[in-house]
Amino acid sequence: MSRIKRGLMAITIAVGMTAVGAVSASAESITGGGASFMGTFQATCSAKYSTHTVAYISNASGTGRNQFAVGNYDFGGSEAAYSSSEYKGRPGGFNFAPITAGPIVVGYNLKGVTSLKLDNPTLGGIFAGTITKWNDAAIKKLNANAKLPDASIVVVYRSSNSGTTDNFSGYLVANQVAPWKRNGVFTSANGKGAPAGSLGFVSNQQVTTTVKDTANSIGYFDLADAKAQGLKAYAAIKNPAGEYVVPSTATASKFLAKNADVQPSGLVGMEWSKKIKGAYNIVAISYLIGPNGQTDAKSKAVEDYANYLLDTCGPKESSKIGYLPLSGKILALAKTQVEKFSN
């Protein structure tokens, strides 16, 4: 695929499925959008939901926050909170509710390499563009038996204001990897700008596709998109407990089970540097942004749909498609937040 074609891909928007099941005459049509991290989850669940008609537009967390704030979306999707200047004052305010979670995988396309280990400094160096060759000494030291080529690393990243980037960079910051800063904009987060020869795309779906189709590439995206596209080459990341762990729903669940820092805002503090045996620590929680105490029919429909995600679709479908069903204190927080959507 040419570089021009790749650039054109960056302006495409993946649109989630709309439920077409039988609905009552009083059913509402609601539209949400934002985080591509939850795109597969939304497409799966909205297609199975029959009380109201739901469309979800999978693009980026920043878009979800913005379009909900200005009233263009009935609900938003995001893995990151509003900044102090970002919310534009939609009547009634907003509530964040955890809706799903999953591992952020580091996928790669490297001929002949079926196993790849990365520690946090090396991972950060690759995506900052300070490690530029696959046979760099830092990578070779961790992968003595791998046939690493003398080839430039093609970094594939999120060009949008991305919740996936926000959490990926947050993980690196929590594990003291310089020069990273936590930010949803990749070129601000890595402290170095776009690495030479890198490719940026709006959504996780586009990043996944590009890594799958581009030799010598590496990118970060949700496990669900990797599974959906048949991409199985994930790096084993050295966790704070000193173990190299491959991302999966099982290893990510071990991490999430030890994170119970629930907050009144509806957010969950992620302890990415926590030492947990057998855990894959690069995990993100995806939030549904809903209204606050509204009495209109669409707000009530959003609340009903959110409860369906938490009570029915999430428990049944999450692990099948690459997500983690919520439980314990996080699920209790989600239910409390969703109850605030409408009166």
Per residue in 27-45, pLDDT tens?
Answer: 999 999 999 999 999 999 9
* CA–CA gap between residue 105 and residue 235 (Å, rounded): 7
Is the per-residue pLDDT at 17 higher than 80?
A: no
Report how far apart, in Å, the C-alpha atoms of 181 and of each of 23, 80, 97 are. Answer: 46, 14, 25
How do residues 44-100 score in pLDDT, each as one tens digit?
Answer: 999 999 999 999 999 999 999 999 999 999 999 999 999 988 887 788 899 999 999
Q: Is the dihedral of CA 118, 119, 121, 127 positive or negative?
A: positive
Binning pLDDT at 50, 70 and 90, where does residue 329 land?
Answer: very high
* CA–CA gap between residue 94 and residue 87 (Å, rounded): 9
CB atoms inside a 10 Å sphere around CB 243: 16
- Give DSSP secondary structure letters for 186-248: HHHHTSS-SPTT-EEESSHHHHHHHHHHSTTEEEEEEHHHHHHTT---BPEEE-TTS-EE---
Percent of the chain with pLDDT over 90: 90
Tell me how many degrees the CA angle 59-259-288 measures, rounded to the nearest 5.
30
Global pTM reads 0.92
Tell me how many degrees the CA angle 272-279-115 measures, rounded to the nearest 5.
105
Among the residue ranges 18-22, 119-123, 144-148, 278-282, the one predicted with the least confidence is 18-22
* CA–CA gap between residue 74 and residue 162 (Å, rounded): 20
Q: Which residue has the tokens 């967390």?
A: 61
Q: Are 278 and 243 in contact (CB under 8 A)?
A: yes
* Ordered structural domains, the chain, with CATH: 11-102+286-338 (3.40.190.10), 103-269 (3.40.190.10)
Is the per-residue pLDDT at 325 higher than 70?
A: yes
Question: What's the number of CA atoms in the CB half-sphere (13 Å) around residue 286?
Answer: 36
Is the per-residue pLDDT at 172 higher than 60?
A: yes
Please count the helices (runs of H) and the strands (runs of E) in the chain: 13, 14
* CA torsion angle 82 87 91 97 (round to 10): -10
**How much is the pLDDT for 8?**
32
**How much is the pLDDT for 11?**
31
Report how far apart, in Å, the C-alpha atoms of 312 and of each of 82, 236, 250, 317 are. Answer: 28, 32, 20, 8
Binning pLDDT at 50, 70 and 90, where does residue 24 land?
Answer: low
Q: Are 301 and 32 in contact (CB under 8 A)?
A: no
Joined together, the tokens standing for residue 111 give 């001929």
Mean pLDDT taken over the chain: 93
Is the per-residue pLDDT at 108 higher than 60?
A: yes
**How much is the pLDDT for 87?**
87
**How much is the pLDDT for 86?**
87
Is the per-residue pLDDT at 5 higher than 50?
A: no
